[in-house]
């Protein structure tokens, strides 16, 4: 067994900067998710599953094309800490070309998609979403310098304002016209605001040039391959189900999956976004880098994983209360996929760790292996068992991805494969305690079981959170209260209590 890694004072300082950055992203994310959740609830109640399926099919096609052609502009700006005007202009040029090319492909695909899926509404859905990559292709690459320098307050402003614009447009169209154009209109409004703010907050006049193509492609080449494979892994499910199970089945799967990753992703994404530039800063100090990464795993385990498992435990009441009975078919999607996403959330930062080390080739082969195993199984399961088979296949594939991530960590760090799991041992134990409560004890608590669904949902959230927190801090105490995430939680809580308590 390897010796425990004790963070140095420099690592602690970097951890504090990462924590501040994550706090800004988390704050923006909370506001965005609350607005997005409100938008999703209202739109889902106003539109039919078939409408959601139509937009999901067009949107996923657009995201697939974006994913398979992603050159990693933000990652490149963070990686090249000395990026000059030539580098930034080359990245801008590649981004513009990519956006225009994707838009053109979607225009061409519009009549073909309507014919293939047998729904003329898909023609206009494809035309609408084709504008999104064109707009975002012109984003200012200098804006990502804020991320490189761990200055995420600008991220907060942009995220909040573009989401407000998107939700405002989306709800207006949905309430007045009750059409799938509500989702597309919101998406385009958000893109316009994001594009504008990227230049307002970081003035820059980019030019079209390929002067740094060799330098940029040396980093982005493998990263583009990673994005290509990740897009195939993440974005083909909905089009496959739209063909095999209809747009209604695709809509149920899409919305269920979105809800499954919403809570864990909201917590994991800001931490991972903040961790990457911090790890990149330590790329010449592998020991400190490894210690910082494991601290990130500990934090992801403490917050993101229990949120995902808790979502699965309350899925029936949550779906009934929030979305209505017409979406109850999404309950199995959430129940099976949310726990798997919770386990995957432990390892969200592994890709950032490998990329910061320049090991994008290893990340590419991880995604290639995953695709070669996952996609045949998913297609077979969908053909043989329909939507239910697809859900089980996606869950099993998610567990396989966890194993691949552990193998990637071992190759990148030289440490034992189980080290990230060991870093999250207390959160894993606390989640097990929460599972025992919900699966074995909670069904026999008549006082909660007999409540009306909204009250039962609230009671389950509170009791589940208390069980998890109690188990987490009990395990921490049993280990002698080490300097870990639990100590930081108590410190933040104590500071907040002193600040807001009356004198």
Q: Is the pLDDT at 86 greater than 70, yes or no?
A: yes
Q: Residue 283 in contact with residue 357, Cβ under 8 Å?
A: yes
pLDDT confidence tier of residue 26, bands split at 50, 70 and 90: low
User: Cα–Cα distance between 290 and 451 in angstroms, integer?
Assistant: 48
User: Cα–Cα distance between 63 and 102 in angstroms, integer?
Assistant: 10
Residues whose CB is less than 8 angstroms from the CB of residue 94 and which lie 6 or more positions away in sequence, other chains included: 71, 73, 216, 220
Mean pLDDT of 421-447: 94
Look at residues 183, 67, 230 and name the one whose alpha carbon lies nearest to residue 133.
67
Task: Give the pLDDT of residue 1.
Answer: 37
Q: What percent of the chain has pLDDT over 90?
A: 48
Ramachandran area for residue 416 (φ above 0: left; ψ -120 to 50: alpha; else beta): beta
Per the listing, tokens 């002067």 go with 211
Task: Give the pLDDT of residue 5.
Answer: 44
Mean pLDDT of 472-485: 94
Mean pLDDT of 6-12: 49
User: Cα–Cα distance between 468 and 102 in angstroms, integer?
Assistant: 45
Q: Is the pLDDT at 213 greater than 80, yes or no?
A: yes
Provide the mean pLDDT of the chain. Answer: 86
Q: Residue 213 in contact with residue 35, Cβ under 8 Å?
A: no
Q: How far is CA 133 from the centre of its chain?
A: 19
pLDDT tens for 125-152 read: 999 999 999 999 999 999 888 877 766 6
Which position has the higher pLDDT, 55 or 156? 55
Mean pLDDT of 327-351: 91
Per the listing, tokens 């994913």 go with 67
Q: Is the pLDDT at 433 greater than 70, yes or no?
A: yes
pTM of the model: 0.71
Using DSSP, state whether 477 is helix, strand or coil.
helix
Q: Residue 333 in contact with residue 257, Cβ under 8 Å?
A: yes
Domain residue extents for the chain? 9-423
Alpha helices (H) in 282-359, listed in sequence order: 286-313, 315-318, 331-345, 349-356
Mean pLDDT of 203-215: 89
Based on the number of CB atoms within 10 Å of its own CB, is 340 exposed (0-12), middle (13-18) or buried (19 or more)?
Answer: buried
Q: What percent of the chain has pLDDT over 70?
A: 86
Which position has the higher pLDDT, 38 or 57? 57
């Amino acid at each position: 067994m390897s010796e425990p890694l004790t963070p140095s004072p420099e690592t602690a300082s970097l951890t504090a900067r990462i924590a501040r950055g994550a706090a800004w992203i988390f704050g923006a994310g909370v506001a965005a998710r609350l607005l997005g959740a409100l938008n999703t609830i209202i739109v889902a109640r106003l539109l039919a599953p078939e409408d959601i399926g139509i937009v999901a099919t067009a949107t996923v096609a657009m995201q697939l094309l974006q994913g398979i052609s992603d050159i990693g502009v933000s990652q490149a700006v963070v990686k090249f800490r000395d990026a000059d005007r030539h580098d930034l202009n080359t990245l801008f040029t590649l981004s513009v070309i990519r956006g225009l090319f994707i838009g053109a492909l979607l225009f061409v695909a519009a009549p073909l998609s309507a014919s293939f899926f047998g729904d003329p509404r898909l023609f206009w859905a494809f035309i609408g979403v084709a504008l999104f990559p064109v707009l975002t292709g012109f984003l200012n690459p200098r804006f990502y310098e804020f991320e490189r320098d761990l200055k995420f307050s600008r991220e907060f402003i942009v995220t909040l304002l573009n989401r407000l614009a998107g939700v405002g447009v989306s709800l207006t169209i949905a309430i007045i016209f009750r059409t799938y154009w509500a989702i597309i209109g919101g998406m385009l409004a958000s893109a316009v605001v994001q594009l504008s703010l990227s230049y307002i907050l970081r003035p820059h006049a980019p030019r079209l040039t390929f002067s740094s193509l060799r330098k940029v492609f040396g980093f982005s080449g493998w990263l583009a391959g990673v994005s290509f494979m990740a897009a195939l892994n993440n974005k083909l499910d909905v089009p496959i189900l739209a063909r095999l199970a209809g747009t209604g089945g695709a809509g149920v799967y899409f919305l269920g999956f979105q809800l499954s990753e919403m809570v864990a992703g909201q917590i994991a994404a800001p931490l991972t976004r903040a961790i990457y530039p911090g790890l990149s800063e330590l790329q010449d100090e592998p020991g400190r880098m490894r210690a910082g990464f494991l601290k990130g795993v500990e934090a992801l385990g403490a917050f993101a994983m229990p949120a995902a498992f808790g979502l699965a435990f309350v899925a029936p009441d949550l779906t009934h209360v929030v979305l209505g009975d017409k979406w109850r078919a999404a309950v199995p999607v959430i129940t099976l996929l949310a726990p798997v996403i919770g386990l995957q959330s432990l390892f969200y930062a592994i890709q950032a760790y490998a990329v910061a080390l320049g090991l994008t080739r290893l990340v590419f082969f991880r995604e290639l292996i995953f695709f070669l195993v996952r996609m045949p199984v998913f297609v077979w399961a969908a053909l043989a068992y329909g939507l239910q088979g697809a859900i089980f296949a996606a869950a099993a594939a998610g567990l396989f991805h966890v194993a691949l991530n552990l193998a990637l960590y071992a190759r990148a760090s030289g440490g034992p494969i189980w080290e990230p799991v060991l870093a999250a041992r207390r959160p894993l134990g606390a989640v097990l305690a929460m599972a025992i409560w919900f699966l074995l004890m909670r069904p026999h608590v008549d006082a909660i079981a007999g409540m009306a669904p909204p009250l039962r949902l609230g009671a389950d959230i509170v009791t589940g959170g208390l069980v998890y927190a109690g188990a987490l801090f009990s395990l921490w105490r049993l280990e002698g209260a080490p300097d870990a995430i639990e100590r930081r939680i108590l410190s933040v809580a104590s500071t907040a209590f002193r600040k807001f308590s009356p004198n």
